[in-house]
Amino acid sequence: MEDPTLYNPNNITQLSNLTTSYLADILLNKGNNATRNGFGCGPASLILPLANISMLILDIEDNSDEHNTNLTVSVDPTQLNPGISHLRDMARGLFPYPLNESGVGDIVNWWADNTENHPVETTQFLSAVVNMCGGEYCRSGQITVGNPDIVGIGMIVAIAVLLCLTIAFSLLSFGPLVDIVARAPYTSRKKRFSLRVSCIGTVDELFSAVFVFALAVMVSTLVFRYKTDTRFDALMANALSQLCSTTVVMLAAVYWCHNKQRPHATGSVLLMAILTIALYTTHAGVANMRASAAEMACGIGKGRVSLVRGDPFDMKKFNFIPVGFGSWFLALIGAVFHHPWLNKYRPTKNKKKIWRVLWKTAESFPSVFGLIGLAVYMAYFFNTWQMMKGSYGKTFSQNVREWGFGQYLAVFTWLPPLLTFSHLYISGMEKAIERRLPHGWIVVQTPGEVDYRGDGGGDDQGESTLAGSRSSRSRVREVDSLAMSQAHELGNLLQTSPKATKATTQETVYPIPSPMPGAMTSPVYYFPDHPSQPPTPYTQGGVHDTRHTREGQRFTPRAHNNGGGNGFNVSHVEENTGYPPTPINAPGHHGPQR
């Protein structure tokens, strides 16, 4: 066909032989790259906005070279409605001014004539646009690719926070590291506001938040993959689901390591395992699902992750999903070794060293293989994300920068655990836990030893440590309101005495004078632990006061609650002692010194 511009260089739309097949020849002329990439693809891609490409029926032609797959377009060109401005820009772009002085009306009439009278040539032109102008078309902003709730900036931030929290807290369950911390000198760590104790107190709430987040992502993935025609979004959602499942397993090991067993933790991990296996077994169907029309026009193939035509990256070159699933499974096996039910069979020191080493190695699986699984899924996610950005350009970047409704929810999911951690770090474990209890419950101190799950952690592996001290452990108990009222009144009474120090609700400490040479001794007892138990010589913990000299000295009688109600009675006291008289037949009895 002769160059139509030679006959009428001023108005090309008036030429009788200027059909769309001539434009197709320009785009398909592979020997003239400057023509195809210079002024051909850009203007030609303008006539295929999203509303039009969704009408196209694209079929992949059989070709041994996967990277050179051609697409055919089967559509009635008369159904296309490119718009007047797009037609004008296309015509003047292919034959720029002053070569083309055709008016807008001339261009519209020319396009209508070709679509009505030359449908075959117009279809060839559209096929040439799809096959030869994929890069320009995908970067033109005419299509929408990428679900913001999956690849948006909000979801990226939420996943980044999730990874940081998971990695930080998973180190708490790493056996060798815990042993090093447990053997460290106590003076080298903070007593109440230590970072480790704050982390342990936050594990419960963090595990619940991660489980809810992962459950929402996985259920949404299972539903979304069968309702979307965008293959890329289905693949990315599947990667996020596998990543979230790995974080649940890693934090489950931390939870079982430092918290009492609760049924919801075991049930949560079991549900995650079932969903993860279901996602993995059905991943092949997602990887081979038919791409959308926009994805196929931009170069996606049937078995490829890359959306850039000719890109050497291929899903078959590295099996991200099998490697990640294997790492997840090993992390799950290691997490089971932290479960309180299995921890009963933990090898003790009288067992062979090889069994203790193997046990500690298995306990390290959640941290080691969990981190490997996270690295694999993150590489899979961000590699595909970068290829999408390179393929779709500003179209994909605009969607990534959009903040959707679900993205705000995803980011603020991590706010409660962070606030809990801050409260524990600032106020201390005892105050923070006690303030979260309902009315009528208190935290009391009982003898014990801090359990760091090391060699010196004690036998009670299931007891959670609420105080940063090796000599005490906090427990929660319910108290009687009447007894608390009596104890409070007693404490106020004793605080008004000039000879008594500040009293607590559990015990009253009396001043014990320094011993003097040659002084007679009298029994002195701590205030009883229960209001109905008056002091007697047989009370455990009694000591002797040596202040009383032979000349004698006056003592002020002490008041104690005899369990008879809210009042306080003054009992008969032994002379010069201020305590009830000692029975005559008591061992070691002595009369008062005169």
DSSP bridge pairs for 522: 545
**pLDDT digit string, tens, across residues 148-191:** 778 778 888 899 999 999 888 887 655 556 555 555 555 455 54
What is the pLDDT, as a whole number, of residue 143? 61
At 525, is the secondary structure helix, strand, or coil?
coil
DSSP 8-state assignment for residue 440 = T
Res 420 pLDDT > 80 = yes
What is the pLDDT, as a whole number, of residue 20? 76
Query: What's the pLDDT band for 248 if we cut at 50, 70, 90?
Result: very high
SS3 of 277-318: the string is HHHHHCHHHHHCCCCCHHHHHCCCCCCCCCCCCCCCCCHHHC
What is the pLDDT, as a whole number, of residue 140? 60
Distance between CA atoms of residues 116 and 119, nearest Å = 6
DSSP bridge pairs for 560: 569
232 with 146: CB under 8 angstroms? yes
- R_g over Cα of the chain: 40
Query: What's the pLDDT band for 78 if we cut at 50, 70, 90?
Result: low
**pLDDT digit string, tens, across residues 31-52:** 444 344 444 666 666 666 544 5
Longest pairwise C-alpha distance within the chain: 143
Please give the full DSSP string across 170-230, using - where no structure is assigned: HGGG-HHHHHHHHHS-GGGS-SSS-HHHHHHHHHHHHHHHHHHHHHHHHHHHHHHTTT---
**pLDDT digit string, tens, across residues 311-340:** 333 444 456 778 888 899 999 988 888 887
73 with 20: CB under 8 angstroms? no
Write down the residue that tokens 């002024």 correspond to: 39
| Domain boundaries of the chain, sorted by first residue | 4-138, 148-422, 480-594
Torsion (CA) 334, 338, 340, 344 in degrees, nearest 10: 80
DSSP 8-state assignment for residue 541 = T
What is the pLDDT, as a whole number, of residue 350? 77
Peptide bond into 447 cis (omega under 30): no
330 with 365: CB under 8 angstroms? yes
**pLDDT digit string, tens, across residues 251-297:** 988 888 877 777 788 888 999 999 999 888 887 777 666 666 666 65
- The phi-psi region of residue 21 (left if phi > 0; otherwise alpha if psi is between -120 and 50; otherwise beta) is alpha
392 with 146: CB under 8 angstroms? yes
Distance between CA atoms of residues 182 and 211, nearest Å = 29
Distance between CA atoms of residues 102 and 106, nearest Å = 6
Q: How far is CA 584 from CA 20, 361, 409, 531, 575, in A?
A: 125, 66, 76, 25, 14
Q: Whole-prediction pTM value?
A: 0.58
Distance between CA atoms of residues 492 and 506, nearest Å = 13
Residue 546 or residue 201, greater confidence: 201
List the one residue out of 53, 73, 188 whose CA is nearest residue 122.
73
What is the pLDDT, as a whole number, of residue 76? 60
What is the pLDDT, as a whole number, of residue 509? 39
**pLDDT digit string, tens, across residues 181-234:** 555 555 455 544 467 777 778 888 899 999 999 999 999 888 887 777 677 778
Beta strands in 232-391 (DSSP E): none
Burial zone of 93 (CB within 10 Å; 0-12 exposed, 13-18 middle, 19+ buried):
middle
CA 273 to the chain's CA centroid: 17
Sign for the pseudo-dihedral over CA of 568, 571, 574, 579: negative
The residue-averaged pLDDT of 78-94 equals 67
Please give the full DSSP string across 492-513, using - where no structure is assigned: HHHHT-TTS----SS------P
Portion of the chain with pLDDT greater than 90, in percent:
5
